[in-house]
Amino acid sequence: MKIDLGPGTPVLVVGAGIMGAGIAQVAAQAGHTVRLFDARDGAAAAACAKLELALEGLVAKGKIGADEAKATVARIRPAGRLDDAAGVGLVVEAIIENADAKRALFRELESKVDERCVLASNTSSISVTALANGLKAPGRFVGMHFFNPVPLMKLVEVVSGLETDPAVAQAIFELSQRWGKTPVHARSTPGFIVNRIARPYYAETLALLLERAAEPAVLDACLRGSGGFRMGPCELMDLIGHDTNFAVTESVFAANFFDKRFVPSLVQREMVDGGLLGRKSGRGFFSYPAPAASPPAAFEPEPVPAGAIVALHGGGVAVQRWAARLGEAGVAFESDPASRWNGLQTASGQLRLTDGRTATQVAAEEGVRDLALFDLATARNGGAPGVSLAFSMSAGASDAWRSEAGAWLRMAGWTPQEIGDAAGLVVARTVAMLVNEACDAVLQGVCTPEGADLAMKLGVNYPQGPFEFLAGWDAAAVVALLDRLDAHYRGERYRVSPELRRRAWPAPPAG
Ligand SMILES: NC(=O)c1ccc[n+]([C@@H]2O[C@H](COP(=O)([O-])OP(=O)(O)OC[C@H]3O[C@@H](n4cnc5c(N)ncnc54)[C@H](O)[C@@H]3O)[C@@H](O)[C@H]2O)c1
């Protein structure tokens, strides 16, 4: 069936809240006439008036021309009744996130629109398959998941349920492109792409907070710094609101039959129970309004001690940085690129890249008393000079080694942040878990690897998609790290995705 959703197609948006108003604006800017309906009296008219002001604001900022704004406003009209749906070619629903309310609405709509009209829902968590159940023509029903704020966020997850006609999903995909968006196909599974793959970004930090490995500001600094993420998980949860973030985690957990991989956090539950909801309540992990931040002090890397006895093991950004600094300082060093571990050995102790074991475990198993672990740096080139990198000490290590290890990390250009002896440190375990979740999503046909990368970069502003992280790492090392986390914590959270394990096997030699 050829579905025509060209600019001549009239659109009905149902729900004139924050999302519905944004969807109406984007559709009208793309040339569609739009009717906006809301069950609450006056809500649609109020949203239209607000949109007019928003468009005037864009004109004042020089983002759009006055004529375009005027034409856009003229294309959007409030609808008094659902009967106004007659004649539209597309309905986009953005009412409250309640399955019964949405189902009732679509059933009613079905009797008012003609048979060629596409029905789309902006639900962020309800199964598209379940919403379609009971419709006379479930094939024309599809998820069209926008992100907030709609006019600015590029991503649209085009979500197909079991009955969605592929031609309908494709028509919505192409329509999203014409609306200036970047669509990604997704299968209707809990959390779709973004809300599912993003869970570990919060969960790993919450797990580290539960075991009191570090303060929120330190975890944020590491993930922003050496991790390269735009926002740390704690400030991000404060922004989203802990109630909202917790509700999404709970819904993904329940929808996965309470798979322990998705178990919510006691730390966040307590914050929700206590009303510490983040920015909107004035307090979450941090207080709001936030005190003005003082400009960061200029970072001075530590000088290389003359005559230091150093051997570099393996590779990676830290080893490369040390090699460069030692070379510049004219300090001789040994190098063993084929070593089974990455890091440096001095006359006093060892500083190793985390492999998923605790520092105390590595010290015991490798027979090294003065041992420290440092975190993976996934930011471009390891991050700008002075960004934070986590490190941890083995239980028996000396204070002298603690300060020497810190000095070596500063020498390599990082601000070292000592955290408790937690397995997998901060960035390594978080990124490994994002990769793992993305692999499971691909395994289950939720999306393609390219779709996962696009969705995470556009939907939550990740600096790299999960498969890009994986390409810059090593699947076997990620599997080894997760297996060690699994052995350390037990339970299901660190269960390795069969897709990731498959990618970790080396190809046999040719012939
Ligand atoms: N807010 C977000 O960040 C976000 C992001 C993506 C998707 N979503 C989804 O978009 C939908 C809307 O979210 P929102 O944040 O715009 O909510 P909102 O509360 O701002 O707006 C919902 C609107 O729907 C109206 N409404 C409720 N029941 C109705 C009905 N039966 N018929 C017509 N109108 C009805 C309400 O009066 C309200 O104006 C939800 O499904 C939500 O999960 C929200």
Q: Check: CB of residue 140 under 8 Å from CB of residue 132.
A: no
* The residue type at 163: E
Which CATH superfamily, name and number, covers 11-188? NAD(P)-binding Rossmann-like Domain (3.40.50.720)
Q: What is the DSSP letter of 483?
A: H
Q: In the numeric block, which tokens belong to residue 359?
A: 């520092």
Cis amide prior to 7 (ω within 30 degrees): no
Residue 444 has pLDDT above 90, yes or no: yes
Q: To test the ligand 1 pocket, which listed residue (98, 102, 105, 124) has its Cβ within 8 A of the most ligand atoms?
A: 124
Residue with tokens 């379940």: 130
State the Cα angle at 422 between 420 and 427, rounded to 5°. 105
- For residue 165, how far is its CA from the centre of ligand 1 (angstroms)? 25
The rounded distance, in Å, linking the Cα atoms of 108 and 102 is 10
Reading phi first (left if > 0) and then psi (alpha if -120 to 50, else beta), residue 456 is in: alpha
The catalytic position among 121, 124, 188, 388 is 124
Q: For residue 488, indicate whether it is catalytic.
A: no
The rounded distance, in Å, linking the Cα atoms of 431 and 343 is 20
The rounded distance, in Å, linking the Cα atoms of 351 and 343 is 6
Q: For residue 157, indicate whether it is catalytic.
A: yes
Residue 305 has pLDDT above 90, yes or no: no
What pLDDT, in 10s, does the model give residues 138-183? 999 999 999 999 999 999 999 999 999 999 999 999 999 999 999 9
CB of residue 131 inside a 6 A radius of ligand 1 = no
* Burial status of residue 137 (CB atoms within 10 A of its CB: 0-12, 13-18, 19 or more): middle
* The residue type at 129: T
What pLDDT, in 10s, does the model give residues 94-127? 999 999 999 999 999 999 999 999 999 999 989 9
The rounded distance, in Å, linking the Cα atoms of 2 and 10 is 17
Give the gyration radius of the chain's Cα atoms: 26
CB of residue 16 inside a 6 A radius of ligand 1 = yes
Instruction: Report the DSSP beta bridge partners of residue 13.
Output: 36, 92
CB of residue 94 inside a 6 A radius of ligand 1 = yes
CB of residue 158 inside a 6 A radius of ligand 1 = no
CB of residue 20 inside a 6 A radius of ligand 1 = yes
Q: In the numeric block, which tokens belong to residue 316?
A: 């990676």
End-to-end Cα, the chain, rounded Å: 49
Q: Whose CA is nearest to atom 40 of ligand 1?
A: 97
pLDDT confidence band for 511 (50 / 70 / 90) = confident
Q: Whose CA is nearest to atom 21 of ligand 1?
A: 17
Q: Check: CB of residue 130 under 8 Å from CB of residue 143.
A: no
Helix (H/G/I), strand (E/B), else coil: 307 = coil
**Residue 103: in which H helix or E strand, if any?**
helix 99-110
Other CB atoms closer than 10 Å to residue 256's CB: what's the count?
Answer: 15
Q: Residue 193: CB partners within 8 Å, gap ≥ 6?
A: 157, 184, 186, 441, 446, 447, 451, 452, 455, 456, 459
How many H-runs (helices) and E-runs (strands) does the chain carry?
20, 15
Q: Whose CA is nearest to atom 32 of ligand 1?
A: 39
Q: Residue 292 has what pLDDT?
A: 86
What pLDDT, in 10s, does the model give residues 352-390? 999 999 999 999 999 999 999 999 999 999 999 999 999
The rounded distance, in Å, linking the Cα atoms of 484 and 291 is 40
CB of residue 507 inside a 6 A radius of ligand 1 = no
**What CATH architecture does domain 310-418 belong to?**
2-Layer Sandwich (3.30)
CB of residue 390 inside a 6 A radius of ligand 1 = no
Q: Check: CB of residue 346 under 8 Å from CB of residue 335.
A: no
The catalytic position among 127, 176, 188, 195 is 195
- For residue 255, how far is its CA from the centre of ligand 1 (angstroms)? 21
Residue 314 has pLDDT above 90, yes or no: yes
The β-bridge relationship of strands 334-336 and 182-187 is unpaired
At residue 149, φ and ψ (nearest 5 deg) are -80, 130
Q: For residue 145, indicate whether it is catalytic.
A: yes
Instruction: Report the DSSP beta bridge partners of residue 144.
Output: 158
What pLDDT, in 10s, does the model give residues 28-65? 999 999 999 999 999 999 999 999 999 999 999 999 99
**pTM for the whole thing?**
0.94
What pLDDT, in 10s, does the model give residues 252-269? 999 999 999 999 999 999
The rounded distance, in Å, linking the Cα atoms of 377 and 228 is 8
The catalytic position among 110, 157, 437, 468 is 157
Q: Whose CA is nearest to atom 7 of ligand 1?
A: 124
Single out the residue of 29, 69, 23 nearest to residue 172, CA to CA. 23
Q: Where are the domains of the chain?
A: 11-188, 310-418
Q: In the numeric block, which tokens belong to residue 24?
A: 């109406």
Residue 1 has pLDDT above 80, yes or no: no
**Residue 104 CA, closest ligand 1 atom number:** 31
Q: In the numeric block, which tokens belong to residue 499?
A: 């897709």
Q: Sheet holding 310-313: strands in order across?
A: 334-336, 310-313, 343-346, 350-353, 371-374, 388-393, 415-418
Q: Whose CA is nearest to atom 2 of ligand 1?
A: 148
CB of residue 153 inside a 6 A radius of ligand 1 = no
Q: In the numeric block, which tokens belong to residue 131?
A: 């919403």
CB of residue 9 inside a 6 A radius of ligand 1 = no
The rounded distance, in Å, linking the Cα atoms of 17 and 344 is 56
Single out the residue of 242, 222, 205 nearest to residue 430, CA to CA. 205
What pLDDT, in 10s, does the model give residues 168-224? 999 999 999 999 999 999 999 999 999 999 999 999 999 999 999 999 999 999 999
The catalytic position among 32, 145, 242, 313 is 145
- For residue 375, how far is its CA from the centre of ligand 1 (angstroms)? 41
Q: To test the ligand 1 pocket, which listed residue (92, 96, 150, 195) has its Cβ within 8 A of the most ligand atoms?
A: 96
What percentage of residues in the chain have a pLDDT greater than 70?
100
Helix (H/G/I), strand (E/B), else coil: 12 = strand
* N residues, the chain: 511
Q: For residue 195, indicate whether it is catalytic.
A: yes
Q: To test the ligand 1 pocket, which listed residue (23, 38, 48) has its Cβ within 8 A of the most ligand atoms?
A: 38
Q: In the numeric block, which tokens belong to residue 157?
A: 């997850």
pLDDT confidence band for 299 (50 / 70 / 90) = very high
The rounded distance, in Å, linking the Cα atoms of 258 and 260 is 6
Scored b (16 or more CB within 10 A) or e, 37-68 reads bbeeeebbeebbeebeebbeebeeeeeeeeee
The rounded distance, in Å, linking the Cα atoms of 138 and 164 is 6
Q: Whose CA is nearest to atom 4 of ligand 1?
A: 148
Q: Residue 432: CB partners within 8 Å, gap ≥ 6?
A: 356, 424, 478, 481, 482, 485
**Residue 40 CA, closest ligand 1 atom number:** 37
Q: To test the ligand 1 pocket, which listed residue (12, 13, 14, 19) has its Cβ within 8 A of the most ligand atoms?
A: 19
CB of residue 155 inside a 6 A radius of ligand 1 = no
